[in-house]
Amino acid sequence: MTAPLYGLVLAGGRSTRMGEDKAALEYGGRSQLERAFALLTPLLSRCFVSVRKDQHDALRGRFPQIADSAEVAGPAAGILSALSAFPEAAWLVVACDLPFLDAATLQFLIARRDPAQLATAFRSSHDGLPEPVCAIYEPAAASALQTFMSGGRNCPRKFLIQSPVLLLDQPRAEALDNVNTPGELDDARKRLGAAAGTGPRALKVQYYALLREQAGRRDEAVTSTAATPRELFAELAARHSFTLAPEHLKVAVNAEFCDWSRPLQAGDQVVFIPPVAGG
Amino acid sequence: MSNFRFTSQPIDGGALRAELIDTHCGGFTCFEGWVRNHNEGLEVTHLEYEAFEALGVREGERVVAEACERFGVTRALCVHRVGDLQLREIAVWVGVAAAHRDEAFKACRYIIDEVKHRVPIWKKEHYVSGDSGWVNCERCATHAHEHDHSHAHHDHG
């Protein structure tokens, strides 16, 4: 029987080269850790954040955690701790510092998972070697990884190289580019900004109740440079003299509740939701 | 058919109750929200309900599913009116059928409470004086300038 697939975001790194906590770095108003966790959540039944044994902070504390069971450093320790904590489960493991990772890449990996191997992983688009920190580890990988690490080795890439593993080509070559230094961070933010389109975007806004009356219309086609619903509301509130403040509203994009800092994309349908009063 | 719906037609409680009848169930509870003639000291002549239906149906279905799972009830249904309503009309109808009465009462209460807080539906009251106002919105609009968040949950029962 195929093991259930859980999600693990690796966030126990010491971020030595970056000089600040990589999990907390923000792109488009959201931390890398939140972004990675939000990518996994809709695809998997349970998700956890992997942390070091001694690591307690507010950002990580918001998520279910698995702490490293040993003092050994590195991603292999986090993967082994998850495999040991839930021996019945397979794990889709992702590093928190992959700002270009997208749902399509994860869905591609999940769809091609081979439970008969110890792992299903991507071939690096840079050097052709297995990518250990966006991969699925089957329950049987636990004892093999334990043996590997008991020999004093802790490189998960070397573990995958010597194990029976299904290797896949990445559907998007840049999806697994990671960010380790301040220079790479600047570059990543520029690339993501360009992809999101910093120029004006065509959006559709629908108004209800008090906002509909104050705007004098049910809907409106808006061309805006606003990157988030928060910025868009500020722009429209100035135009229509809305009396409701954003703290009294919720927001939905494409008919689902969302965060005020969700990045807006061309074609999005945005609704600001005044205080409700059903019944 | 969906277990949360909007309708612009008068609600027929008997017909909705008939949808829930099930030989596994030993109890049925129902809540009807009616249009009353007063609110917060003002005389109300009629109401207007407006909904963001695409999201409202999704959120309403989530509420009903949560109630069924949490309390283990067999069947549950919620229907909310939109449009102009006169006094005495039914604004919202919740029905729950279950093996036993306890879970039916609890699930019914859960559904109406959550629907009032979470589903994007708005109510405009029209008063005898000729004034009108969107319930929960006008107070926020006034108080927004005073940074008064004490009524942030908009629970007016």
Question: A95 exposed, middle or buried (CB, 10 Å; 0-12, 13-18, 19+)?
Answer: buried
Contacts of B122 in chain A (CB under 8 A): 208-210, 274, 276-277
| DSSP-based three-state secondary structure for B21 | coil
Last residue of a domain, one of A117, A145, A169: A169
Task: Decide if B107 is inside a domain.
Answer: yes
Last residue of a domain, one of A146, A169, A192: A169
Task: Give the chain B residue nearest A212 (alpha carbons).
Answer: B50
Task: Decide if A121 is inside a domain.
Answer: yes
Instruction: List the single residue in B55, B58, B112 with the smallest CB-CB distance to A279.
Output: B112
Q: In whole angstroms, what is the distance from residue B118 CA to residue A233 CA? A: 21
Q: In whole angstroms, what is the distance from residue A178 CA to residue A210 CA? A: 46
Task: Tell me whether residues A271 and B52 touch, CB distance under 8 A.
Answer: yes
Q: B143: which 2 tokens?
A: 């108080």
Interface with A, mutate which of B81, B122, B136 (most A CBs under 10 A): B122
Distance from CA of B97 to the nearest CA of A (A): 20
Question: What residues contact A143, with CB distance under 8 A and at least 6 apart?
Answer: none
Task: Decide if A39 is inside a domain.
Answer: yes
Residue A263 sits in which domain range? 201-273
Looking at residue A195, its pLDDT comes to 59
- Which one has a higher pLDDT value, A185 or B86? B86
Task: Decide if B23 is inside a domain.
Answer: yes
A205 forms beta bridges with: A220, A270
Contacts of A248 in chain B (CB under 8 A): 137, 140-141, 144, 152
Task: Decide if B62 is inside a domain.
Answer: yes
Task: Decide if B61 is inside a domain.
Answer: yes
| DSSP-based three-state secondary structure for A177 | coil
Same structural domain, A45 and A129: yes
Instruction: List the single residue in B54, B91, B121 with the smallest CB-CB distance to A276.
Output: B121
Task: Decide if A216 is inside a domain.
Answer: yes
- Which one has a higher pLDDT value, B119 or A27? B119
Question: What residues contact B108, with CB distance under 8 A and at least 6 apart?
Answer: B29, B30, B31, B76, B94, B95, B96
Chain B contact present for A241, CB below 8 A: no
Which CATH number do you get for residue A15? 3.90.550.10
Domain count, chain A: 2
Task: Tell me whether residues B144 and A245 touch, CB distance under 8 A.
Answer: yes
Same structural domain, A64 and A158: yes
Contacts of A256 in chain B (CB under 8 A): 55, 58
Token pair 């004490």 is found at: B150
Same structural domain, A14 and A94: yes
Task: Tell me whether residues B92 and A278 touch, CB distance under 8 A.
Answer: yes
Which CATH number do you get for residue A246? 3.10.20.30
Q: How many CA atoms lie within 13 A of A130 on its CB side?
A: 22
Per-residue pLDDT tens over the stretch B11-63: 999 999 999 999 999 999 999 999 999 998 999 999 999 999 999 999 999 99
Task: Decide if A125 is inside a domain.
Answer: yes
Chain A contact present for B5, CB below 8 A: no
Chain A contact present for B36, CB below 8 A: no
Same structural domain, A164 and A32: yes
Task: Decide if A267 is inside a domain.
Answer: yes
Distance from CA of B120 to the nearest CA of A (A): 6
With vertex at residue B17, the alpha carbon angle to CA B15 and CA B22, rounded to the nearest 5 degrees, is: 125
Task: Decide if B153 is inside a domain.
Answer: no
Residue B14 sits in which domain range? 4-36+52-121
Classify the complex by whether its ipTM is higher than 0.95, answering yes or no: no
Task: Decide if A236 is inside a domain.
Answer: yes
Domain count, chain B: 1
| Sheet of A250-253, strand order | A219-224, A201-206, A269-273, A250-253, A257-258
Looking at residue A115, its pLDDT comes to 95
Task: Tell me whether residues B144 and A210 touch, CB distance under 8 A.
Answer: no
Task: Decide if B77 is inside a domain.
Answer: yes
User: Per residue of chain A (279 residues), what is the pLDDT tens digit?
Assistant: 799 999 999 998 888 888 888 888 887 667 889 989 999 988 998 999 999 888 888 889 889 999 988 767 789 999 999 999 999 999 999 999 898 898 889 999 999 999 999 999 999 988 889 999 999 999 999 999 999 999 888 899 999 999 999 999 998 888 998 888 888 888 887 777 655 555 688 999 999 999 999 999 999 999 998 889 999 999 999 999 999 999 999 999 999 999 998 889 889 999 999 999 999
Same structural domain, A148 and A208: no
Same structural domain, A214 and A156: no
Token pair 């086609």 is found at: A221
Whole-Å CA distances, B97 to A95, B66, B69, B76, B119: 47, 15, 13, 6, 22
Task: Decide if A181 is inside a domain.
Answer: no
Same structural domain, A235 and A144: no
- Which one has a higher pLDDT value, B151 or A183? A183
Kindly state the greatest CA–CA separation across chain B: 56
Which CATH number do you get for residue B21? 3.90.1170.40
Task: Please state the pTM of the whole predicted model.
Answer: 0.56
For B35-48, b/e burial (b = at least 16 CB within 10 A) is beeeeeeeebebbb
Residue A37 CB neighbour total at 10 angstroms? 22
Q: A93: which 2 tokens?
A: 């493991």
Task: Decide if A229 is inside a domain.
Answer: yes
Q: Do B32 and B12 touch, CB atoms closer than 8 A?
A: no
Chain A contact present for B83, CB below 8 A: no
Task: Tell me whether residues A208 and B123 touch, CB distance under 8 A.
Answer: no
B31 forms beta bridges with: B94
Same structural domain, A206 and A165: no
Contacts of A137-145 spanning 24+ positions with Cβ under 8 A: A137/A79, A137/A83, A137/A90, A137/A91, A137/A93, A138/A3, A138/A90, A139/A3, A139/A83, A139/A87, A139/A88, A139/A89, A139/A90, A141/A79, A141/A83, A142/A80, A142/A83, A142/A84, A142/A87, A144/A118, A145/A76, A145/A79, A145/A80, A145/A83
Q: Do B68 and B76 touch, CB atoms closer than 8 A?
A: yes
Task: Give the chain A residue nearest B51 (alpha carbons).
Answer: A208
